[in-house]
Structure 1
Amino acid sequence: MNRWDGYRNPVGFDNDVTALEEMLLHKDHPQQMFISILGESGVGKRTLARAVYHKVEGEFNTSFRYHGTPDSTTEDLLKEVYESVEDECPSEGNADCGEPVEDIDISDRIRCLLSNKKYLLVLGGIYSKTMLNCLKACLPDDNNGSRVLLILDIEDEEVGWYANTMNKEGFNGIHLLTRLDEERSGQLFCSSVLRKEQYDEEVNMKKYNKTVYNITGGYPLAIRLLAGLLRFKEKPGQWEAVLQQLMSESEMRTTIESVFWASFEDIPNDLKSCFLYFAGFSKDTSLYAETLVQMWIAEGFIKPQKGKTMEELGHSYLNELVLRCLIQSKMRKIGSIKRVRVHKRLHGFLHSEAREAGFIEVHDMHDMFVPPSARRISFMSFGGRYTTFINKFPKLRSFICWVEEQDWSNDTEGGVNKQLCHDLKFLLGSKFLRVISVWGLRIQKLPDEIGDMIYLRYLCVDSMDLKKLPSSIKRLLNLQTLDIRGTQVEEIHRSFWKIKTLRHVLADNLTLPEFIMKELDELQTLHGVKPAGETEWDQQNCPLHKMSKLRSLELHGIKQDKHGAALESALVKMQHLGCLTLEGDELPLCVFTARSLRYLQKIALYGNVKWPEVNLNLHTVRPNLIVVKLSNINEVPRHIRDELNLEVKTEDQAAPLVKGAPW
């Protein structure tokens, strides 16, 4: 029996993978083809699509996957297709088609990029024939075997059959994915619930096949939920009790609903609040793990434990939710969780529970009434329209806002139309606020009174109109996370760096002070910062000397003659550093040689390095190193290049990530 290996070899889908592979690689049908995976929610469509994608992507010149949210527009889809294809085809530049880029419609840009290429697009979230028509109009058909694989729920069956009519020669591109039978249900349950060291118990597990099938109805989502629940129970006593209870409830609820509520009720109370937090984000939203953990910490959901940081505990909470199959995760190459999401079928149950419990008020329309007693408010994706609140929210603890970016080309000449901007002043009456996370709103300035929010622990503002932070930010003495990526803020009040509770400072181009007076014992992440102007760093007292507990550092604008010696002396003291990105004219070799940096897992360097004439002995000096990114691999000596036999990337591949939404 095939074991579940990520999404590459999912149990129970062998025949489906084979059938789709044959359709995608059909050599007798070179014309462009639309293929649809059609099935109920929770039946495993995405799992199947991922498995097939990984198996056939090498047969295509370019390929990518995208799954839109339920409120995604055609413009969102085309923008995502264009940006993804452009990343896959860097040599094509901006696909100018012989004309200035600003004069070219995005459809024409996509067509130019994909011209004469055999492509594979795996797309979810196409809910209308209109959207599908717009997509098809962008895609060239060069008779080279290009394919578009659609992932569709059964309620969108009409879209699938419509896509089928686009295929020439009457080719049937519909693949109907059904629930698993009893045998395959048992196989999936067994592979999901057992640890590798328990595989010898597989024979004894077959006695559960019929019960598992009766409880779950053959839905892969329900089977994994059940497996995740039983992982935390003792066998056979507690297993039998859980299975018997679920069997008795099978007539009162749907199969997935029944297993979900059993799993939800089994979660420890601390973890339950963390899980409910997902209800504050749009369905099918993929969240960065670090962002989510930082918000949990700010809310006070994470209880301290001796010997572990709050972030380590937060990630252990995430891991438990993954093990319980309540959330899905995408992993980094260094082994940590990168992104997480809740299956859209489960999101509905979670949203219902959060609303009934008064945990969070979630709205996606600008005219919804929000009671003054709300403790958490979330506004998600409402077309750029935003209400100006009249009432206050004295009990508010969290405000989360994500507005889709708009075309502001009709702004007043010579500046920003202030009528389109927001100041968040309605939050000033919320003295107990702990979390403010705003993305997409036009914000020119934050109110000076923000410094009075003494309980604020997490502040994230993503707005290109924001150029300055009020000096009162220095009074936020409980602030843990400041995330101003996506803004134009370059300066911050010097006293900000006296806040002892700082844990994460994330920016794009923030200037560091010349020096910092006191040690920042809690600071773990410092991203998107640079030295101040032409100021020369003191070798014994540069700002980084007061940040010795850093675990991730991204620093640019380094000049060897002004900062080199101080930077090197500070780096060798950062014994907990795991991720390091440096950009400058010349970068210190201690990144590879200092024995104190043995925890480094990821290194990205954009600049010249004075490489030694002898080997670096990385296997002893950097035992945890997994990823190395260099701006110019051609300048690396051959003996060093051979030793860096990890994931060495060139400049095009190693471009710094540009932050979009924090989720």
Structure 2
Amino acid sequence: MDIAILTVLNKIGELGSFASSEYSRLKDVDLQVSDLRSKLEFLMAWIQVAEEGNRIKRDQLVSVWVSQLRGAVFDAEDIIDEYIQELHRPGGENRPPVVEAKARTRRGRSFVSSCFPFRSVEEVAVRHSLSRQIREVLRRLDEIQRNSLFNMQPRVDALANTIQVFDRPTADTLKCGDPWTLVGLDGYTQSIIGLLHKDNGKREAIVIVGESGIGKTTAARAVLQSQDVQKHFDVCAWVCLPPKSRVDKYLDLILEQAQLQTHLHCRRREGVLDKMKLLVVLDGMDNIDELMDVLSELPRGTKGSRIMVTTQLQIKKIEQCIPGIRPVEIKCLKRPDCLKLLCRGLSGNPRRVYDAHKDKFDEKIYDISGGLPLAVVLLRGLVYFKDHEAQWNEVFELLKSYQHKRLIKRILTVSYTTMPTDLKLCFLYFSAMPPNIYVDLDKLQRLLSAEGILKSTSRVMGVEEEEGCLDMLVSRGLVQRVEGGTKLCIHQSVHGFAKTMAHETGFMEAHSQFDIRDTSIVRGLSVHNYVDRRVSMEKFLPKTRTLLGDFAEDYCVDEAVHPSGSHAISPKGLKNHSRLEFLCQSRFLRVLDLQGIQLGKLPDNIGRMIHLTYIGLRSCGLKDLPSSVAKLLNLETLDITGNDIQTVVDEFWNIEKLKHVLAKKLSLPVSSASMSLVTNLETLHGVALSSVGPQENSSLNKMRKLLSLAVVSVTATNVLTLALALQEINGLRHLKIAGDCSPVTFPCTRLCSLELDGKVLLDDASAQSLNSSCSFTKCRLVLRSSCMSQVLLDIFLSNLLLSELALLDDSFIGSKLFLRKGPFCDIEKLRIGNLKLLEELVIESETTLLNTIEIFGCPNMKTIQGLKNSEYLKNVVLFDMPEIVAQIKAEDKELFYKIKHVRTEAWESET
């Protein structure tokens, strides 16, 4: 026994001696990580120089060298991520938080070095292994860099001379007009409008044909937005879906737009749509079989209904398959229109340079672009930030070096070559989005921030980094603003180039199914499947950092239908739902964003995926989240909109880095003590306050950095809690409150939009107090069910600068509504709907900026006064008001021609 004890003591002594000798070496792992990070920063810049210069000189040895170097960089990223993963294995959850040191890499990701002392023998082993792997990577990098066999240094140095100075515009130069303006297409649009108005008693299809980038979509949008077209049809629907989308998805989108435009809620597509005069635009239908399938299933509509199609298909092929169509072929711009389009978006120094050298530049511009509008827009983007003649000439010379490429690819290559790294990453991220499909700007910014490509998603003051990058892409003509700048989309030709570059650089792979050939090397994956919602994945994605997916949103045949008409998941369907178990092997996953996928639950051990910064699971049928999500210490965004998740474990709200939470109806913890660390939240949508607990110590009180807040289920028991919390949040830009009632005070001074759905109970004293304490900026205001009188409405709005006002669903309870000078003088858009008691509307002459007015659901409305005083008025939409329309027609012909009168009585029996 004594010998056994002595042996154990000797081993302990040996272990202590080993520990003291190893510590001095293993503690240097942090320094090794720092050295690796510095070397990678240098090498990534070198890769960019070599790669972009090589696009001009096309040195095959340089291509191999860049490929090897990129592979070594990827391995280094894997080492660091694996190290962090190992340090957060079960048993290590209570260790001190990792101290981060961020550095830009290929994707703008963060390398992390830990500086806390060793806690276990396992940690010593991890650090020992890491030290060995880092030394191996450093040796490999040095060997690639100093490859004497091919003498790479002079080759790369020579390539550096071919690269132009990157565009680094100031914030003042970022804001530009829409580069996708309508130039040279007026004749085509008038011709199309004439065909739409020509009534021969049957539904016809008008097909706009032309090559990619010729302006088909631009012309179709201009036609759809025409006041004459809007008045001529009951419903004007725009449908643009990715290839291989199911036909019923087209029908659902048409029905959705019909309901929005007619304010009718239809349970089914048949019947109602057939009684409307429809204009349906099918954008980007480049597959003849899909086009024929969709045309055969579209609702017929009433006499005079029309279908408009944009396509790259040949006219002869369409006429052979679909007889009776009316083709309109768009051709390239003539020289004057080409130059006019170029000048439309130029300003400042670039415009002065062009005007000073117009004679020399005009011929080059027309020869390069060939009059193709997309080429003109992209070329303008290349010179948009060029302030000197020499810089313009450099662009022209650089384009000459790519004569072997086709027109659009040539300009895109030069544009991509001259981008700074952060802008390239922003651009390549659009390869994961479907072409021509609108992408929400706020969502895109959250994704880019989570990826580490952009630093911040805050947009309170000035031009932030992500807004600057996206504005630069717009200025270059690479992406387009739509829907008032709230969404972006990328042209199909530009998307094809971005997809190719993303594949070549290993940034992102895009597929229609999970049928990737070699999943072991995929680092970014985007899947768009519009056929079904199920994921069948037999292989793992061990290296993947980003997984984006968009799936069919309707339920499958094995799902039960509730008697009320809503869908309910059957037990059989639940068994067949994916749980994404294969993702448990994706240890390095940072961004998970899936739309419409059929899920039962998330993996219980998702909390071990400590690199996750973004979880987006929208319309996935989820009902709860595993408690382990609280262990995701790096999580910035949780987007679970469209699901029925109502609670999440209280510890989740203590994630310090959490910035954005979006849900349908998610309860906050009762006590603010459960949210002591949530101080960085910027977005909080779809949350319900508790009706118990102290009103002065609510969960919202800690969230003083909120920029956007949407609260649901506000009641009389928690409305005071909300009011007190709002007094602590002074930076709100967007506020939406829904429930039985709404608070009466809003001390925020920078609101851009305010939506109140519920009674606003104001007396004169409280309203005057509100009036004296608020100073709002120009904003959009929507009131629903607020039950306000004229007096209280005037007081409530007296200091508001309104750009848009919507009074809906008994928000006003008087019989006579005055739009007086003061609060209403700056209104540009007015919507009045479902005010059952309203009989008369009076618009005072001072409301001169009003350009759009829409009135519906007001059965007792008898007169509207003051419309002719609004000189900017362009669009008036009135629903079921024949007497008022007849009165206006008799008194003011000019005003009458601005009115679109929609008659919905004929549809009521089908709704």
> 1:181-580 residue pairs with structure 2 within 5 A?
181-194=334-347, 205=358, 207-250=360-403, 252-303=404-455, 312-332=464-484, 337-381=485-529, 383-384=531-532, 386=534, 388-411=536-559, 415-517=571-673, 518=676, 520-532=678-690, 535-536=691-692, 538-560=694-716, 562-580=717-735
Question: Could you tell me how far 1:151 is from its partner in structure 2?
Answer: 0.7
For these two proteins, the number of residue pairs brought into alignment is: 622
The residue number in structure 2 matching 1:649 is: 831
**Match in the other structure for 2:156:** none
Confirm or deny: 8 A CA contact 2:274 2:302 kept in the other structure: no
* Matched residue type, 1:355: H
> Measured at CA, do residues 325 and 9 of structure 1 come closer, stay the same or move farther in structure 2, by a change above 3 Å?
closer
**Letter paired with 2:210:** G
Q: Could you list the runs of 5+ residues in structure 1 that have no partner in the other structure?
A: 96-100, 168-172, 656-663
Asked whether the equivalents of residues 449 and 456 of structure 2 are also in contact (C-alpha less than 8 Å), the reply is no
Structure 2: how far apart are the matches of 1:639 and 1:85?
29
What is the alpha-carbon distance in structure 1 between the residues aligned to residue 208 and residue 795 of structure 2? 50
Q: Distance in 2 between matches of 1:344 and 1:141?
A: 31
Q: Which amino acid aligns with 1:273?
A: L
- Which whole-Å deviations, capped at 9, do the CAs of 1:482-513 have from their partners, x for residues lacking one? 00011110011111111121111100011122
SS of residue paired to 2:672: coil
With over 3 angstroms needed to count, the CA separation of the structure-2 counterparts of 1:620 and 1:195, relative to structure 1, is farther
Alignment match, 2:196: 24
CA distance 1:61–1:441, change in 2 (3 Å) = closer
Question: What does 1:26-175 align with in structure 2 at a 5 Å threshold?
Answer: 26=198, 29=200, 31-55=202-226, 56-91=229-264, 93-94=265-266, 101=268, 106=269, 109=270, 112-115=272-275, 117-126=276-285, 127-128=287-288, 131-132=291-292, 135-136=295-296, 138-140=298-300, 142-143=302-303, 145-155=304-314, 158-159=317-318, 162-163=321-322, 165-166=323-324, 173-175=326-328
| Residues 31 and 395 of structure 1, relative CA distance in 2, 3 Å threshold | closer
Q: Distance in 2 between matches of 1:626 and 1:353?
A: 42
Q: CA deviation at 1:435?
A: 0.5
CA shift, 1:40, in A, is: 0.3
Aligned to 1:581: 736
CA, structure 1 residues 328+446, in 2 after alignment: closer, same or farther (shift >3 Å)? same
CA distance in 2, matches of 1:423, 1:282: 25
RMSD value over aligned CA atoms?
3.3
AA in 2 matched with 1:586 = C
Aligned AA (2:685): H
Distance 2:665 2:814 in 1: 28
How much has 1:201 moved relative to structure 2?
6.8
Letter in 1 for 2:733: G
The alpha-carbon distance between structure 1 residues 30 and 429, as it changes in their structure 2 partners (threshold 3 A), is same
Distance 1:76 1:196 in 2: 47
1:599–1:454 Cα change, 3 Å? farther
The alpha-carbon distance between structure 1 residues 90 and 606, as it changes in their structure 2 partners (threshold 3 A), is: closer
Once the two structures are overlaid, the 10-residue window that deviates more, 289-298 or 640-649, is: 640-649
Q: Between Structure 1 and Structure 2, whose CA radius of gyration is higher? A: 2
Q: How far 1:231 sits from its partner (Å)?
A: 0.6
**Structure 1 CA distance for aligned equivalents of residues 459 and 185 of structure 2:** 43
For 1:546 and 1:270, the matched residues in 2 are separated by 33
- Report how far residue 227 of structure 1 moved: 0.4
Q: Is the 8 A contact 1:393 1:427 kept in 2?
A: yes
> What is the CA–CA distance in structure 2 between the aligned matches of 1:527 and 1:308, rounded to whole Å?
18
CA positional deviation for 1:520 = 2.9
Matched, 1:598 2:776: yes
Q: Distance in 2 between matches of 1:596 and 1:497?
A: 31
Contact 2:788–2:811 (8 Å) recurs in 1: no
Distance (Å, rounded) in 2 between the aligned partners of 1:197 and 1:275: 23
- Amino acid aligned to 2:243: P
Unaligned runs of 5+ in 2: 1-175, 561-568, 747-753, 755-769, 835-853, 857-911
> What residue identity is the alignment partner of 1:350?
A
- Whether the aligned pair in 2 keeps the contact of 1:289 and 1:338 (CA below 8 Å) is yes
In 2 relative to 1, CA 443–119 (structure 1 residues): closer, same or farther, beyond 3 Å? closer
Deviation at 1:620, TM superposition (A): 7.7
1:443-472 Cα shifts (integer Å, max 9, x gaps)? 111112111122211001124431111111
Q: Distance in 1 between matches of 2:535 and 2:504?
A: 24
Q: State the secondary structure of the residue aligned to 1:585.
A: strand
Counterpart of 1:482, as a letter, is L
Question: What's the secondary structure of 1:635's corresponding residue?
Answer: coil
Report the counterpart of residue 658 of structure 1 in structure 2: none
Give the conservation status (yes or no) of the 8 Å contact 1:62–1:119. Answer: yes
Say whether the 8 Å CA contact 1:602–1:625 is kept in structure 2: yes
The superposition leaves residues 287-314 of structure 1 with CA deviations (integer Å, 9 ceiling, x where unpaired) of: 1111111111011001469997899422
Distance 1:638 1:525, change over 3 A: farther
Distance in 2 between residues matched to 1:51 and 1:160, nearest whole Å: 25
Once the two structures are TM-superposed, the CA of residue 197 in structure 1 deviates from its matched residue by 11
Alpha-carbon deviations, 1:14-45, whole Å to 9, x = none? Answer: 22222222222236x45432211110011110
* Alpha carbons 2:179, 2:344 under 8 Å: kept: no
Contact 2:180-2:480 within 8 A present in 1 as well: no
Comparing 81-90 with 346-355, which one deviates more in the overlay? 81-90
Give 1:211 shift. Answer: 0.9
Shift of 1:421: 1.1
Q: Deviations over 1:201-227 (max 9, x none)?
A: 758645422211111111100110010
Q: 3-state SS of the aligned residue for 2:236?
A: strand
